Amino acid sequence: MTHIYFNPWLERYKQPFGAVQEGAMVNVWLSVPEQQNTKVFLVVRKEGSSVGQKIFTMEPATEDRFHFQTIMDQGWGLYFYYFKIVNEAEGHETIQYYGFKGQGGEGRIYGSEREVIPYQLTCYQKSENAPKWYRNAVFYQIFPDRFANGNPNRVINQPKKNSFIYATEEDEPFYIKNKENEIVRWDFFGGNFKGIQDKIPYLQELGITALYLNPIFEASSNHRYDTNDYFKVDSILGTEEEFRSLIAALHTAGIAVVLDGVFSHVGKNSRYFNISGFYGENSGAARDPQSPYRDWFTFNHYPNDYKSWWGVADLPEVRKENPSFQEFIYGDLDSVLSKWTSMGVDGWRLDVADELTDDFIAGIRKNLLSYQEKILIGEVWEDASNKIAYDTRRKYVFGDHLQGVMNYPLRQQILDILKQSRSLQDICEEMIRYQENYPADFYYNQLNNIGTHDTERILTMLDGSVEALDQAWGLMFMMPGIPCIYYGDEAGLTGGKDPDNRKFFPWKSINPRLFKNCQKWIERRKKYDVLKNGQFFPFYSKTQKIFGIIRYSGNDYVIYAINLSDQEQSLNVGELSSPRAYRGEYAVLDRILEGEILAPKGSLFMYDSE
Instruction: Dump pLDDT digits (tens) for 466-476.
Output: 999 999 999 99
The whole-number pLDDT of residue 583 equals 66
Does pLDDT of 305 surpass 70?
yes
Does pLDDT of 34 surpass 90?
no
Q: Can you tell me the distance from the alpha carbon of 468 to that of 352, in angstroms, rounded to the nearest whole number? A: 30
Does pLDDT of 435 surpass 70?
yes
Burial 559-582 (b: 16+ CB within 10 A, else e): bbbbbbbeeebebebeebebbbbe
Q: What is the mean pLDDT of residues 326-341?
A: 97
Reported confidence tier of residue 2, pLDDT bands at 50, 70, 90: low
Residue 424's SS3 state is: helix
- Range scoring the smallest mean pLDDT among 4-8, 63-67, 172-176, 283-287: 63-67
| Known catalytic membership, residue 234 | no
Which has more pLDDT, 328 or 580?
328
Instruction: Enter the pTM of the model.
Output: 0.97
Does pLDDT of 525 surpass 90?
yes
Q: What is the mean pLDDT of residues 477-500?
A: 99
Does pLDDT of 89 surpass 70?
yes
Nearest to 296 by CA among 269, 327, 317: 317
Amino acid at 186: W
Reported confidence tier of residue 370, pLDDT bands at 50, 70, 90: very high
Does pLDDT of 1 surpass 60?
no
Q: Can you tell me the distance from the alpha carbon of 111 to that of 204, in angstroms, rounded to the nearest whole number? A: 60
Domain residue ranges in the chain: 12-122, 267-315, 407-504, 530-606
Q: What is the mean pLDDT of residues 65-79?
A: 97
User: pLDDT tens digits for 306-324?
Assistant: 999 999 999 999 999 999 9
Which of the following is catalytic: 169, 358, 379, 429? 379
Which of the following is catalytic: 218, 260, 351, 430? 351
Q: Using an 8 Å Cβ cutoff, are 325 and 296 in contact?
A: yes
Q: What is the mean pLDDT of residues 354-366?
A: 98
Does pLDDT of 581 surpass 80?
no
Does pLDDT of 585 surpass 80?
no
Q: Can you tell me the distance from the alpha carbon of 75 to that of 121, in angstroms, rounded to the nearest whole number? A: 12
Which has more pLDDT, 534 or 581?
534
Q: Can you tell me the distance from the alpha carbon of 35 to that of 88, in angstroms, rounded to the nearest whole number? A: 11
Tell me if 12-122 shares its fold with 530-606. Answer: yes
| Known catalytic membership, residue 295 | no
- Range scoring the smallest mean pLDDT among 86-90, 262-266, 267-271, 286-290: 86-90
Which architecture, in CATH terms, is 530-606? Sandwich (2.60)
User: pLDDT tens digits for 553-575?
Assistant: 999 999 999 999 999 999 998 89
Does pLDDT of 542 surpass 90?
no
Q: Can you tell me the distance from the alpha carbon of 277 to that of 268, in angstroms, rounded to the nearest whole number? A: 10
Kindly state which CATH superfamily the domain 12-122 is placed in.
Answer: Immunoglobulins (2.60.40.10)
Does pLDDT of 300 surpass 90?
yes
